[in-house]
Each structure stands twice: as structure tokens, then as C-alpha cells.
Amino acid sequence: MLADIVLFLGAAVIAVPIFRRLKLGAVLGYLAAGVAIGPSGLGFVTDIDRILQVSELGVVMLLFVIGLELQVSRLRALRTTVFGLGTAQIVLTTAALATLAWLSGWKLTVALTIGFGLALSSTAFVIQMLSERGELVTRHGRASFGILLFQDIAVIPFIAILPMLAGHHIHPSASAIAATLLTLLLVVVVARYLLRPVLRLLASTQVPEIFTAAALLLVIGTAMAMESVGLSASLGAFVAGVLLADSEYRHALQADIEPFKGLLLGLFFIAVGMSADFSLVVERPLDVIIVVATLMGVKALVLFGIGRFAKLPAGSALSLAASLSQGGEFAFVLFSLAARAGLLPLQVQSLLVVAVTLSMVATPLLYAMIARLRRVDDAPPFDEVDVPPSPVVIVGFGPFGQIIGRMLRVKKIPYTVLEKNWQQVDFVRRFGSRVFYSDASRPEVLRAAQVDKARLLIITIPDEENSLRIARLVRGEYPKLRIFAVARTRMHQMRLMDLGISDVIRRSYFSSLEMTADILVALGASQEQARADITLFRQHDESTLARQHAVYRDERKLVQTAREAAEELEQLFETDRVTRNGQP
């Protein structure tokens, strides 16, 4: 057993970082590790059923964590996307794929299982892909998140009815029904009324491992209780998670379960990879291609259709279709459970697992191609800037620019806003802000905004290169105009200083100083001393910045200056401490 553990951990440690570096996701890394050490690869492991039985605990813990995240307030805020688009996607995709499977000769129960399993997309895979591209806040990103959340919810009841689809417990006795209802009631009562006092007592012991043991006991115990009356172990863990979603121990439970969930779920995907027969790609290439093409084609058509029905622009609907067209990790879970229940033949399970895996590999390539072909987010044409002169022009109206705008508004100081992100423009206009969707890096836009008659121009955009491009243009066209700029990093600030812009602050500089002052007070310093320390630090930092600006293009000198500045700062604080304590 120890040799197997070393083998699994070694395979994961090698494969997962490689796949993450290739931006293919951790799930594919685990699957590749399983293929490599399984019967289709090097053949180091052959007893796959034993591994699957242990690794299914990872699925149980995953569903417990999903339950913990389903707070009523969160679902209420996303109800239209989750229950509208999510329901439409699951119902339509399942119906289409199940119909095709049924027409191919499979029984209705088998066809329904295949259709539903393939209708699910990869939550971890898609969220990671959109997050890396900064597209979670786009229209198609928000729609994708809502649909994925509904899929995570919808998979729970389907797992629960799998034994019935397989022909098990179709006619339960009255005693079995009573035992089931009693178990469900017991889980609800214990989780709702008894568990919180117990967790509070365990937390008060200040023994972290005992709280972790309690979290594991809760998940595994609930799963066993459900399984003992013929229900899904995953359903029990999910119910327990939902009942604790609004408790004060939600985050602590999630933090304790997360490492076990990650490792066991990784083990599950390794086991799935070991059970996948990739020789099918060579032996039955046409079947594999047909299943992959059908899976991705049907899902993409359905997703594009519901995206357009929800009034998403064509480009956003196309991106939604491309991002969710693959199969997901829950397909591996469902097909594995269905095969163990005797519902799916093993050769069909292998074909479906291979198809889902290949669809996940194809998704980043498909999405990148769609991103190049489509117009960026179906952005509308730029506004025609037609505005009387104002003393202030703000370029960029994100959180930073909005705070400036709110203060100017209450002080009755007119201002003009230019924002290049049309989705941000669409968002802030809902709250009554007048914003021009336009590109301030174009000279004609600056002329239309009558920048020559302004007293100040404020650049708050986070993109460093775009910020510098606008600053250069304004400095060249309007050399006497005073510019205030927000820098993302220290280096960004020095590059702005190269343009002669002295009114520059770093985006998080003052907020981090404010929090540092509060931290010092929390650690025992007085308010006056904390403020004095922050003032001393800021004065030294500003003088250091001026010195570094002279040499920042020479990395060796920049590093040397930083080290010298750190030593000077320590000496300053030591001198201040000695003086404050009245020591000679």
C-alpha cells in the first residue's frame, strides 16, 4: 500500500504541474498520471476497483464543500442565471444527447444516464480557464458560472436515483421508506440543532486536529448513514453541507476538508485515468471522433441558442458555447458509479471517459480560436464624445475612478469620464453615472473631450502599457496640463515619473498604509505612535523612490539601492525608538 501511495503521489507531482503550465488544468494532469501508471500505460497498477472505492471519498467531500457554498443569499442573487440558463442547458442538452443515444439502440435508462453525464461541464476547468483570461466578469463569464453552479446542484439528485435507473430498489418496502425518511430527518436535526454546539465546544478546546477529525467524522458519518438506507453517500454529504452553509463554522469546515478533498479527488481522477482504455483511439478512432464531435457540437448549439435567447450578444453567446462545450469531472463520477451499478457496460464507460477527456483537451484550443474569430465581446461602436468643457477629465472609471467621481459630484465639480471597457460602461450607467465609451489613447477623443480646457486629467486605468500610452499622448499634446495618475506597481510609477508626472500614487499604497496602522494598534501600539511610524515609513519610502528613479533601469543598482534603503529604514526606526524611550 505504501508503494502504491508513493506511486500515485509521484505521478501527480510530475503530471499536474506540467499540465497546469500548459494551461490544460489539474484534472487533465491527474488523468494523464493515471493513464501513465495504469494498464494502458506502464502497467504499474492493475487493481483499479480497489483504488476507485477509496477515491470515491473525494467525490463525497467535493459534494459536501459544494453544499457549504450554497448559501441562500448567494443563490438568490444568481437565481435568474442559475435556475434559468442552468435549467435550460441541462434539460435541453440531456434531452438531445439522450435521444441520440436512444436512437443508437440503448435502453432509455442507459440513454438518459449518458445524456445527463455528457451534459455536465467541468467546473474546475472552465473557472480556471476564464479566470486566467480575466473573463469571469464578462457576460459569458457570469453566464458560465451560473450554469456550472446549477450543474453542481443538479448532479446530486441524479446520483441519488442512479440505483433506481439500474433497477435497484424500484419497489421499496414500507419499512425501507420509513428508514430512509427517518435517516433524512435525523441528518437534518443533527446538522441544524446539535452540530453547532458540538463544533463550538470542539473549537473552544483549541486543538486543531480534533476539529479536523470532527469535520471528517461529519462527512463520512453522514455519507455512511445515507448509504445504509440505500441512498447515495454523496447525497448525504451534500445535505449536511447545505444545512451548515449559513453557520459560523462554514469556512473552518471547508478549510479542514479541502486538503483531503483535493488529494482524494485527485486520486479519483488518477483511478479514472487508469481505467480509461485509450487504445480505443487506435482501435476505434471513428467511434471516438463521432462521440467527441457529437458531445461538443450538441452542447455548443444548445448553449449558443440559450445564450442568444437570454439576449447575450452573438460574440458572448459564442464564447459561452465554446467555454462549456466539453464534458466534465462529474461525468467521470457518474459513469463510474453507473458502471459499478451495472447500468453502463464497461466498454461504453471506457469510450465515454476517453471522449470526455479528449473534449477537455480540445476546449482551450477551441476557445482560443473563437476568441480570435469573434469581435471582442461584441463591443458596440465608440460613443461620439460631445460634451461642454469641464475642469476635470477622468480616464478609466473602475473602483478607483468612481470614488474620485463621487467626491467631485458631491462637491458640485463637473467632470468628464472616458472609459474603454464597454462592459464597465454598461455597469456604471445603471447607477446613473454619465460615462463615455471611448478610447482616450486617440488624439481626436481627447480633442472632443476638450481636454485643452481642463485643469486636470486623471488616469486611473489598471493596464500599465495603456496608462503610459495615454500619459505620453497627453504630455505631448497638452504639455501644460496637470496630470494625476494611478500606478499599478512601483516600476509603473517610475515610468510615469519619466514623463514628468509627479502626481502619482500606487493603487494600493495608501490603503495598505492605513491597514498597517490598524495592525500596529491591534498589536498594542497607541494610535499616535502607529501614525508616527506610518509617517516615518512613508517619508523614507518617498525619498527612496526618488533615488531609485535615477537608477531603476540598471537592475544591479536598483537591487543595491533597495538593500541600502532597507538598512536605513531599520536604523531610522531604531533611532526613533531610542529617542522615544529617552535613552542616551
pLDDT digits (tens, 9 = 90+) for 430-458: 666 678 888 888 888 888 888 888 899 99
Is the per-residue pLDDT at 542 higher than 90? no
Distance CA 497, CA 564 (A): 22
Phi–psi pair at 482, nearest 5 degrees: -80, 130
At 468-487, the pLDDT tens digits run 989 989 988 888 899 999 88
Segment 11-23, tens digit of pLDDT: 888 888 888 777 6
Q: What are the structural domains of the chain?
A: 2-373 (1.20.1530.20), 392-580 (3.40.50.720)
In DSSP terms, 394 is beta-bridged to 417, 458
Percentage of the chain exceeding pLDDT 90: 7
Chain centroid to CA 582: 53
Cα 544 to chain centroid distance, Å, stands at: 38
As a whole number, mean pLDDT of residues 522-529 equals 86
Taking the C-alpha atoms of residue 350 and residue 352, their distance in angstroms, rounded to an integer, is 5
Average pLDDT, rounded, for the chain: 79
Per-residue pLDDT tens digits for 325-337: 988 878 877 888 8
**pTM reported for the whole predicted model:** 0.55
Contact indicator for 265, 234 with CB cutoff of 8 Å: no
Q: What pLDDT digit, counting tens, does each position of 350-383 carry?
A: 888 888 888 887 887 788 787 766 654 455 566 6
Helix or strand (DSSP H, E) at 19:
helix 2-21
Q: In the prediction, which pLDDT does 584 show?
A: 46
- 413 φ/ψ angles, rounded to the nearest 5 degrees: -100, 115
Beta carbons within 8 Å of 263's beta carbon, 6+ residues apart: 58
**pLDDT score recorded for residue 345:** 82
| Assigned C-alpha cell, 147 | 450554469
Report pLDDT digits (tens) over 86-141. Answer: 889 999 999 999 999 899 888 888 889 899 989 998 876 777 677 666 676 677 88
Predicted confidence (pLDDT) at residue 294 exceeds the cutoff of 50: yes
- CA–CA separation, 89 and 107 (whole Å): 23
Quick: pLDDT tens for 151-170.
Answer: 877 887 787 777 777 665 44
Q: Is pLDDT at 463 greater than 60 in this prediction?
A: yes
Burial status of residue 271 (CB atoms within 10 A of its CB: 0-12, 13-18, 19 or more): buried
Instruction: Let me know: does 269 contact 27? Beta carbons within 8 Å.
Output: yes
Query: What does the pLDDT average to over 403-424?
Result: 82
Residue with grid cell 502619482, as numbered in its chain: 504
Are 44 and 18 in contact by the 8 Å Cβ rule? The answer is no
Between 80 and 356, where is the model more confident? 356
* Residue 465: count of CB within 10 angstroms of its CB: 9
Stretch 512-532: mean pLDDT: 86
